Amino acid sequence: MISETRSETLKQHFLNHPWFWGVTLLGVFLSINVLVLTTTVLMEAEARGQELAFWEPFCWEVTSSVMILPQIVLLVTLAPRYLTPLPWLRQAVIHLLLTIPFSIVHISGMMGLRKLWYWAVGKSYHPFGDDWLYVFIYEFRKDFLSYFMILFIIMGYRMMVLRLRGEATYVPVGEQEPPPNAQPEQLLVKKLGKEFLINTQEIEWVEASGNYANLHIGAAVYPMRITMAKLQTLLPEKKFLRIHRSYIVNTVEIKHIEAQDSGDHLLTLKNGRSLNFSRRYREQFREVFEQSKG
């Protein structure tokens, strides 16, 4: 009983602080990776009868990790917003292209840090005789594989978070499937073998995430395997409005709307969350409110 309680507490902490756990696990992984690769280089040098100071391979691996870490954070932050909503084929092409700037930033930053480190200890660093084209080809092969390995780890981590949070589905009436244009009052939420009912009226906002729509209720998030267009037909049309290709909001939860220099607007919810309000949805938004006044 105690172990189950601890397990549930740990799970809730993980779900409430995914960034903390993600950064911590990433830091542990990179630290272990640096030590393993450093000792591997030293062992291989010893096997060849070559003398190599510990600080040199340690410098190589630390500078590499230092330049990869911020790019991982950037990928985790921007990919869900700008890449995940896109079709899979387009995502794949973009990721293939992103391996080039990923590698350029990694190589240039890593080489700069290494030269600075070597200068600080009174030595010089000249990889492959400073043949930079050769250096780029040599490093890009590894960076290409590293990029997609990192991408798959991020995707796996997200899938684990979604699995723990649970998946929502709409509740059929009896044993029959709901009509195509049905607007159910409740959604069935499945979490690790348990089922809960939530009222659609309690949903504050919805966010597109690939093949899923994330339903936000307070601090909880319930992923539902459905397109945003389909979900919009299931929710009360005058209460839930599309404001962006990635967002649907509960109009009751709107605090204020602020115009931006770009011509778009920024919509802020009562919980403090700010969402982009696209121009293409503003006219429909205005029409619904004018009809409600009439």
Q: Are residues 127 and 73 in the same domain?
A: yes
Asked if residue 184 belongs to a domain, the reply is no
Asked if residue 195 belongs to a domain, the reply is no
Q: Are residues 13 and 89 in the same domain?
A: yes
Asked if residue 174 belongs to a domain, the reply is no
Token code pair at residue 264? 């778009």
Q: Tell me the residue range of the domain where 74 lies.
A: 2-165
Positions of the chain with pLDDT under 70: 1-5, 8, 12, 165-183, 190-194, 290-294
Q: Are residues 160 and 231 in the same domain?
A: no
Q: Are residues 138 and 223 in the same domain?
A: no
Q: Are residues 7 and 148 in the same domain?
A: yes
DSSP one-letter string for 155-213: HHHHHHHHHHH-EEEEPPSTTSPPPTT---SEEEEEETTEEEEEEGGG--EEEEETTEE
Domain CATH number, residue 288:
2.40.50.1020
Supply φ then ψ for residue 176, to 5 degrees: -95, 150
Decide if 257 contacts 266 (C-beta within 8 A): yes
Q: Are residues 30 and 159 in the same domain?
A: yes
| Strand 265-269, strand 254-259: pairing | antiparallel
| Strand 265-269, strand 247-250: pairing | unpaired
Model confidence, pTM:
0.60
Domain end call among 165, 186, 211: 165
Residue 125: per-residue pLDDT: 92
Residue 132: per-residue pLDDT: 87
Dmax (CA) of the chain: 88
Asked if residue 220 belongs to a domain, the reply is yes
Q: Are residues 45 and 156 in the same domain?
A: yes
Residue 233: per-residue pLDDT: 86
Domain end call among 143, 165, 187: 165
Residue 180: per-residue pLDDT: 52
Residue 157: per-residue pLDDT: 87
The number of angstroms, rounded, from the C-alpha of 72 to the middle of its chain's C-alpha atoms is 10
Q: Are residues 136 and 275 in the same domain?
A: no
Query: What's the total number of domains in the chain?
Result: 2
Q: Are residues 29 and 139 in the same domain?
A: yes
240: enclosing H helix or E strand: strand 240-244
Residue 176: per-residue pLDDT: 46
277 to 79, 85, 258, 264, 269: CA distances (angstroms): 19, 16, 9, 6, 12
Asked if residue 181 belongs to a domain, the reply is no
Decide if 147 contacts 102 (C-beta within 8 A): yes
Asked if residue 185 belongs to a domain, the reply is no
Asked if residue 156 belongs to a domain, the reply is yes
Q: Are residues 144 and 14 in the same domain?
A: yes
Q: Are residues 230 and 154 in the same domain?
A: no
CB-count exposure of residue 128 (10 Å: 0-12, 13-18, 19+): exposed
**Interacting residues of 190 by C-beta distance below 8 A, sequence separation 6+:** 166, 167, 168, 169, 196
- DSSP symbol at 83: I
Q: Are residues 72 and 127 in the same domain?
A: yes
Domain end call among 113, 141, 165: 165
Could you give the 3-state DSSP secondary structure of residue 258? strand
Asked if residue 177 belongs to a domain, the reply is no
